[in-house]
Structure 1
Amino acid sequence: MAEPTATLSGAVVQYPGRPPLGPVDLSIIPGEIVALVGASGAGKSTILRLLAGLEAPSEGRATRASGPAHTGFVFQAPTLMPWADARTNVALPLELAGVAPAEARRRADEALSAVGLGDRLIARPRKLSGGMAMRVSLARALVAGPDLLLLDEPFAALDSITRRGLIEDLHHLWAARSPRPAIVFVTHDVEEAVYLADRALVLDAATGRIAAEQTLPGSLPRPGSWRMNTDYRSAVEALAQALADAMRSPQAPA
């Protein structure tokens, strides 16, 4: 069996004025897509930061097979440099890693073309729609060829049609890469979780521990008609029930 891309072992995070998060035990398999669902404040974003190496656990361990330099992170907002065009925003992580500027720009152009923005290379963020800006952010996360891609509700603020298109594009971008990166994404939307992921993890509302794990049916990437499949609908209902149970935890804050 391949070495996990990332692992949390008994990870606990202490925050002043609130109960600790965890312990959390989690292994991310190379190339899989994992959804994290849970109530607001359950610790979903904290788990992403632990996996990314942006935060260290107070107890336990967070380990990465290839180190944080091979991690891409897409936040809830695009977080683009407003004074820089799309090409410059995407090339930035390569240049910070020591890639020659000309090569960084070439690879940025390829990444932007892959997300459907080959005609927006010199557009600044203010000239981009919300969906386009998120595509730039996704291209920036993928341009260095990460083996782990972390997504913190990047589609939440988008309209439903744009959101659906980006979800399907993410599948195709993932499937086109060799080797495929592991993806861990946070969502409040159980339908999004079932459509995007191989498996879903439900966090307990009070402790942030993994309260339930659901292996999702079907192969990735999903066919366009899969949302009408009875297996999809059954998985959505099962995950919604697991989430409702986790949110009714007797220790959960009101």
Structure 2
Amino acid sequence: MPSTVQVCLKGAVVRYPSLSHSLGPIDLSIASGEIVALVGASGAGKSTALRLLAGLETPAAGRHEHAPGTRTGFVFQSPTLMPWADARANVALPLELSGVPSAEARRRADMALAAVGLGDRPEARPRQLSGGMAMRVSLARALSVEPDLLLLDEPFAALDSITRRRLIEDLHRLWAARAVAMVFVTHDVEEAAYLAGRVVVLSVADGRVVDDIAMPGPLPRPANWRRDPAFLEAVETVADALAASMGLAS
């Protein structure tokens, strides 16, 4: 596999007894340091594709490949924090489970919390955090392993629009500092077009990649990018591709 590729799926097929059809084959390649958004209708297999990329699910056919030594962080739809533990302990957990000594795990947890703007809240319990703060703790937990690949499964879906926008800016800032490859699942075409350098559209019929669209403009986004005609055109391009993937194109 070329050294510029962080992870890829080659003809990956998933079969579920509850479905009358298979998902795939899915062909998808993620380069080192790029941000890719996955969009598709409900049931298109976006979360399945993310699990395949993470190696959490094994394809029935085809294969999953990643660059040697790839470290992966995963941010789920809900923060999934231990309610009895403070933010530092929640972030340190994957490190401790991997054998990192407790003192070092806590030090790295504090660094990760500082990176997401929660350096002053290491002892806060989940019940003391807003939804956006709890998601930042979840993001810090994923970053604590110093990932080469960060996978995010609609992590902002339950948050208000202003908090979502702030967290997307945080992701861009973290990406600029670490150059980590990111794959972000979303239903929101504007979010996809703003966040990513590429938007990949999956078919609702079988989860295959039906469109792969390069987004204009630099990352992180410049000020007022949401008002730029190039961005507005990109949003419409993604919306049209999504509609076509659902059989709704005019």
TM-score range, shorter chain: over 0.9
The amino acid of 2:15's aligned partner reads Q
Partner of 2:182: 183
Write out per-residue CA displacement over residues 179-199 of structure 1, whole angstroms, 9 at most, x where no aligned residue.
Answer: x11100100000000100010
Q: Is 1:244 the counterpart of 2:246 in the alignment?
A: no
Given residue 72 of structure 1, which amino acid in structure 2 is its aligned partner? G
Letter in structure 2 aligned against 1:58: A
**What is the DSSP-based 3-state SS (H/G/I as helix, E as strand, rest coil) of the residue aligned with 2:5?**
coil
Percent identity over the alignment? 69
**Residue in 2 aligned with 1:136?**
137
Structure 1 window deviating more from structure 2 (3-12 vs 152-161): it is: 3-12
Secondary structure in structure 2 of the residue aligned to 1:212: strand
RMSD over aligned Cα, in angstroms?
Answer: 1.3
In structure 1, the residue matched to 2:166 is 165
| Structure-1 residue corresponding to 2:45 | 43
Distance (whole Å) between structure 2 residues aligned to residue 249 and residue 48 of structure 1: 25
Give the structure 2 partner of residue 32 of structure 1.
34
- Structure 1, residues 44-63: CA drift from partner, whole Å, max 9, x if none? 00000001010000000011
- Segments of 5+ residues of structure 1 without an aligned counterpart are none
Q: Work out which of the residue numbers 23, 35, 47 in structure 2 matches 1:21.
A: 23
The one-letter amino acid paired with 1:84 is A
Q: Is the 8 A contact 2:36 2:197 kept in 1?
A: yes
2:147 corresponding residue in structure 1: 146
Post-superposition offset of 1:176 = 0.8
- Structure 2: which 5+ residue stretches go unaligned? none
Question: Which SS does the other structure have where 1:5 is aligned?
Answer: strand
Following TM superposition, by how much is the alpha carbon of 1:249 offset from its aligned partner in structure 2, in angstroms? 7.3
Shift of 1:144: 1.2
Shift of 1:103: 1.0
Q: Counterparts of 1:114 and 1:149 in 2: how far apart (Å)?
A: 15
Match of 1:65 in 2: 67
Q: What corresponds to 2:157 in structure 1?
A: 156
Flag as ranges the 4+ runs of structure 1 deviating above 6 A: none
Distance in structure 2 (CA, Å) of the matches to 1:110 and 1:10:
39
1:153 partner letter: E
Q: CA deviation at 1:219?
A: 1.0
The whole-number CA distance in structure 1 between the counterparts of 2:174 and 2:80 is 21
Residue by residue over 1:160-192, the C-alpha shift from the partner in whole angstroms, topping out at 9 and shown as x without a partner, is 111100000110011111xx1110010000000
Deviation at 1:2, TM superposition (A): 2.9
Tell me which amino acid in the other structure corresponds to 2:185.
V
The one-letter code of the counterpart of 2:125 is R
What SS does the corresponding residue of 1:41 show, helix, strand or coil? Answer: coil
CA contact (8 A) 1:148 1:181 kept: yes
Query: C-alpha offsets along residues 184-242 of structure 1, whole Å, 9 cap, x if unaligned?
Result: 01000000001000100000111100111100001101113100110000000010000
Task: Write out per-residue CA displacement over residues 33-53 of structure 1, whole angstroms, 9 at most, x where no aligned residue.
Answer: 000000001000000000101
Give the whole-Å Cα distance in 2 for the aligned partners of 1:249 and 1:208.
16
The 3-state SS of whatever aligns with 2:218 is coil
**Superposition TM-score, scaled by structure 2 size:** 0.96
- Is contact 2:79-2:138 (8 Å) kept? yes
What residue is the counterpart of 2:195 in the other structure?
196
1-side partners of 2:124 and 2:177: how far apart?
26
